[in-house]
Every structure is written in structure tokens, then in C-alpha cells.
Structure 1
Amino acid sequence: MVDDPARPDRDVLAVDAIVTFVCVVLLVIGAIMAAALEPSGRAIVIATQVVAVLAAAVTGSAAVRVVLAAGGIPTRADNHDDEPDAPLRGGRVIGFLERTAVAASLLLAWPAGVGVILAVKSLARFSELRAPRASEQFILGTFASVMWAAAFAGIGWLAAV
């Protein structure tokens, strides 16, 4: 969904919830098919893992937004994305890329990749973390995003077992 700052959180959360539900249903179907076709189901397993990576990337924004709201960090309409001096702009796109990379590195059996991803993100955001509430937004958002990606990678990994 296009990230329109004028669109209320409620609308974005509803669309994200629908997309999340559809992705989880596809993952469950893929996992069941992979289990049923054990010896010859490698293509189904790979497809399920690809869907897991995409689901982690696409659906994580709602989870991150909920965690930020629970932590008292302003979201969407409150975060002034249209202001050039606003802290941590572009988080939705960065989160999409972060969740993709985390889920992929875990499914490729390279957990050290998560450390590399977090180090690069931390270095890139370091100068911005002094703004009010920026460090809290960074920590909560990153933690929620990585945990979300790891959960979907776990589902994809279970399909291969």
C-alpha cells in the first residue's frame, strides 16, 4: 500500500491486517503441502520459504506500528514525515528491506547476517539518534521488525524440516 501520510493509521492497519492474514494462510497451505509431499516436495518448500520472506517484509509494518504505539512513540499522522527535520524518516521502506534481509539470511542458514544487517542499520542511523524520541523509535521499531521477520523465517524453516 502506498505510504500516504494523510491516510489514517486505522486504514493502513486494516489493509496490513488483511495482507498478513492472506500471507499466513498461504504459508499454512504451503507448509501442509510440503509435509504431504515429503520426498518430492522441494519446490513447495522453496515456494513456502519465498512466501515467508515476502510475508515478513510486507506485513511487518503493522506489527512495528503497534509496538511503537504501545511504547508511546507517535505513528503516521503524528510523526510529521513531510518535515525535513523529522527524526528517522523513511522507516517503512527501511523496515521492508530489513525484514527481507533478516528473513532471507535466517532461511539461508546465515544467522550472522542478522548482525551485519543491524550493524549497517545502526551505523547509517547513528547521527539521527540524538533527536527527541529517535533512539526509542529506533530500538522499538528495529526489535519489533527483526522479531517479526524471525517469526516468519521460523515458519518457512519449519516447512523445510
Structure 2
Amino acid sequence: MTVLALVCLGIAVFAPALSLRPALPVWVGAAVTSTALGGAALAASATAPVQGVALAATLVLTTLAAVTGGGPAVLVAFRIARRQPDAGPDPAPPPGPLRGGRVIGVLERGGVAVSILAGWPEGIAVIMAVKGLARYPELREPNASEQFIIGTATSVLWACAVCGVGNALLT
């Protein structure tokens, strides 16, 4: 079951690349990633704690799945928040008031994953505080606070969910 859980985590790492294909809607990548994460969770619930190479693979795959899978999840959350129907391939999202959000989201999810896997969940509060202080001057622009809250909440919740699966393999 450990191998199955690691394979599912590997799929969760690479499935977000489906969202990069212009012929597919963004929700396809998010759905495949979420399904793979669910499969990893089910397999992880029936395993003994990992050791050796499987331990290293778990840590690496969990961190990568947290970082890569959050992007499509955030885009789907923005689409739901805008209440736009999915009419086919996703056009490029209109630029929002907060620039650099994708790169910041990757760094945020990576920091959250490392904090949780290192056994220091208080690090999430530090990451959130730094991000909030850095974005504070921009949050008065129209739609900025909504974009900030939706993106940050989705990103952090995704990273926490992935790390929960990773921790199931570790303990």
C-alpha cells in the first residue's frame, strides 16, 4: 500500500500540468489532482510508517504535490467566486490587482508544507503574517482583498490537506 500511496502522490505532483493545456478546462487538472490525493490518503491509511527511501520519497512528493497542486485549486476557487460558467477552454484569467500571486502562492505552499512536515505548524502563522504585511498596501484596491483571501485560504488549505496525507504515511 505504501507504493500505491507514493504513486498516487506522484500523480498529484504531475496532474496539475493538465491545467496548462489550452484544450482542457482548468478544473480537469484540479479534479485529477484531488482524486490522486484521495487515493493516496486511502492507501496511506492502510500502511505502516515509512522508513528509508520511502521516507525521503514521501517528504519530497508531499512537498511537491502541495506546491504544484495548489495552482489549479486556486484557479477553480476564483472561477467559483466569480460564478462564471465553464464554457470550455479557459482563457487567460484577467490580471487582478495583486501582481505576482502565482509565484507568491508557490512559495507560500512550499513554506506551509515544510512547516507542517518539520513539525512546526506555527510556521503557517509566520508565513501568513509576512504575506499579509507585504500585501497590506495593495489590499485597498478594488477586488484585492477578495482575491487575497480566496487565494490564500485555498492555497493554505490545499497545502495542509496534502501534508495530512504525507503525515499519514509518516506515522
Residue 136 of structure 1 aligns with which residue?
Answer: 146
* Distance in structure 2 (CA, Å) of the matches to 1:122 and 1:147: 16
Residue 66 of structure 1 aligns with which residue?
Answer: 76
Deviation at 1:35, TM superposition (A): 2.8
Residue 149 of structure 1 aligns with which residue?
Answer: 159
Deviation at 1:43, TM superposition (A): 2.8
Task: Select 2:92's aligned residue among 77, 91, 103.
Answer: 77
* Structure 1 stretch displaced more, 90-99 or 21-30: 21-30
Count residues with an aligned counterpart: 149
- Deviant stretches of 4+, over 2 Å: 7-18, 20-32, 40-43, 73-78
Deviation at 1:126, TM superposition (A): 0.8
* Native 8 Å contact 1:45 1:160 kept in 2: yes
* Distance in structure 2 (CA, Å) of the matches to 1:127 and 1:8: 34
- 1:57 has 2:71 as partner: no
TM-score of the superposition, structure 1-length normalised? 0.75
* Distance in structure 2 (CA, Å) of the matches to 1:59 and 1:105: 17
* Distance in structure 1 (CA, Å) of the matches to 2:167 and 2:63: 11
Residue 5 of structure 2 aligns with which residue?
Answer: none
Provide, for residues 94-128 of structure 1, a one-character-per-residue CA deviation record: whole Å limited to 9, x for no partner. Answer: 11111111011001110110000001111111111
- 1:122 has 2:137 as partner: no
* Distance in structure 1 (CA, Å) of the matches to 2:23 and 2:75: 9
Amino acid of the residue matched to residue 159 of structure 1?
Answer: L
Deviation at 1:23, TM superposition (A): 6.2
Provide, for residues 48-101 of structure 1, a one-character-per-residue CA deviation record: whole Å limited to 9, x for no partner. Answer: 122011001001111111111111288963423xxxxx5111111111111111
* Native 8 Å contact 2:37 2:165 kept in 1: no
* Structure 1 stretch displaced more, 141-150 or 70-79: 70-79
Amino acid of the residue matched to residue 92 of structure 2?
Answer: A
Paired-residue identity, %:
44
- Structure 2 portions without partners, runs of 5+: 1-16, 85-89
